[in-house]
Amino acid sequence: SQTIHQWPATLVQPVGSPLSLECTVEGTSNPNLYWYRQAAGRGLQLLFYSVGIGQISSEVPQNLSASRPQDRQFILSSKKLLLSDSGFYLCAWCRESYEQYFGPGTRLTVT
Amino acid sequence: SQQGEEDPQALSIQEGENATMNCSYKTSINNLQWYRQNSGRGLVHLILIRSNEREKHSGRLRVTLDTSKKSSSLLITASRAADTASYFCATDPSRDDKIIFGKGTRLHILP
């Protein structure tokens, strides 16, 4: 069966510090991968998606970036965090735009 | 950009009653999905309805889709306390690898 992992689960970082969130998928190959951000009590904002290694589509211009160094690994990064980067970050995978499977999320607080 | 819009934003009902949530979207779609999110967790896929389907059932869930009105509804029958969660619709715009989520309906089942 397929599983999706995200880490860390929670993170508190000062403004201006770098960020690296990792997402890995097991039990499937060549998945579509997605990064979302969810503000408290709000909907999901699509940040990046990838249909293959090295293929990244950015939805929102901001100080975040994403990379897919391996087929089942998706990394969200920032060189300098802003207060507005605080939120709940969710990674998801799917095949051929059918149902998405979400990881447990990372709660990021920028102080 | 927001594709789906759920209505109402919040809903409180007594346990045992039926809960109905609506979703409207803007562009043509391949399919529409409903997801559930418990507080602080990732989203869980509930049901997918294709653009050529009008109604679909899964246990206590009933989903309808009206492509002429660009709208869908999710009905949860005989609600239980465990149904308390946020519910999101997500659409798969044609010829696209993205899935766009609405802002969600917060459902609270009162004991």
- Specify whether the CB–CB gap between B56 and B47 falls below 8 A: yes
Residues of B in contact with A36 (CB under 8 A): 101
Q: What is the pLDDT of residue A72?
A: 95
Contact A99 B103 (CB under 8 A): no
Q: What CA–CA distance (Å, rounded) separates B21 from B7?
A: 6
Residues A54-111 have pLDDT tens digits of 999 988 868 899 999 999 999 999 999 999 999 999 999 987 657 899 999 999 999 9
Contact B43 A100 (CB under 8 A): yes
Q: What is the pLDDT of residue B41?
A: 92
- Specify whether the CB–CB gap between A47 and A88 falls below 8 A: no
- Provide DSSP, A37-63: EE-TT--EEEEEEEEETTEEEESS-SS
Contact B97 A51 (CB under 8 A): yes
Interface A–B counts its CB contacts (< 8 A) at 60
Confidence of residue B3 (pLDDT cuts 50, 70, 90): low
Residues B69-108 have pLDDT tens digits of 999 999 999 999 999 999 999 998 766 678 888 889 999 9
> What is the edge-to-edge ordering of all strands in the sheet holding B55-58?
B5-7, B19-24, B71-76, B61-66, B55-58
Of the candidates A41, A42, A98, which has its C-beta nearest B48's C-beta? A98
Contact A102 B43 (CB under 8 A): yes
Q: Residue B52 contacts by C-beta under 8 Å, 6 or more apart in sequence? A: none
Confidence of residue A2 (pLDDT cuts 50, 70, 90): confident
pLDDT at residue B43 greater than cutoff 50:
yes
Q: What CA–CA distance (Å, rounded) separates A34 from A37?
A: 10
Q: What CA–CA distance (Å, rounded) separates B57 from B9?
A: 23
Higher pLDDT, A58 or A6: A6
For A80, the 3-state DSSP assignment is: coil
Q: Is A59 in the B-facing interface, judged by CB distances under 8 Å?
A: yes
Angstroms from A80 CA to nearest CA on chain B: 25
Mean pLDDT of A30-51: 90
pLDDT at residue A25 greater than cutoff 90:
yes
- Provide DSSP, A95-106: STTS--EE---E
For B99, the 3-state DSSP assignment is: coil
Higher pLDDT, B4 or A71: A71
